Structure 1
Amino acid sequence: MLQALYQTFGFPLALLLSFVVFMLVILWLAGLAGLVISQQEEHTSKPLSILLGVLFPFYPMGWLVWDMIQERRRYRE
């Protein structure tokens, strides 16, 4: 698969695309971890949000960005 990517896009774009995909996977896993930890701290069980996070990778990424914005607002006060 990487060879086909390299042959299609060339070295610089294949490297960039691989890096972007890697970063998206890292953000997805970080968002899932944040969803699970936030639910443990609140002592609630929301299996729907975890299921959405697993099935739709952009949900935990969006949650992660939203949580960072909320933290920034809390620290400003």
Structure 2
Amino acid sequence: MSSPSESHRERLKQAQKIMEQPSDYKVCEGCGSIVTVRTTACPSCHAYKFDETEPRVVAQAKALAKRQANSVLSSDLA
């Protein structure tokens, strides 16, 4: 398992990637996850309604980068 500071750096790095190309992503209206535009159902909550507007994607990327991760990933179970 990664250290908290390592996890935070990775979240900042991912947020930067999303903010550089917000048109490639969308925000799940069910849980707030950011997914790629080609995703049809959220892998986290299985919702299918998304907000694809760039301001919303950027705002959500910033918000998620600032807080601690709270999702269980497959890597957490290994």
TM-score interval, normalised by the smaller of the two chains: 0.3 to 0.5
Q: Structure 1 length normalisation: TM-score?
A: 0.37
Q: Which structure has the larger Rg over C-alpha atoms? A: 1
Q: Relative to total residues, which structure has the larger helix share, 1 or 2?
A: 1
Larger relative strand fraction: 2
Please, what TM-score do these two structures have when normalized by structure 2? Answer: 0.36
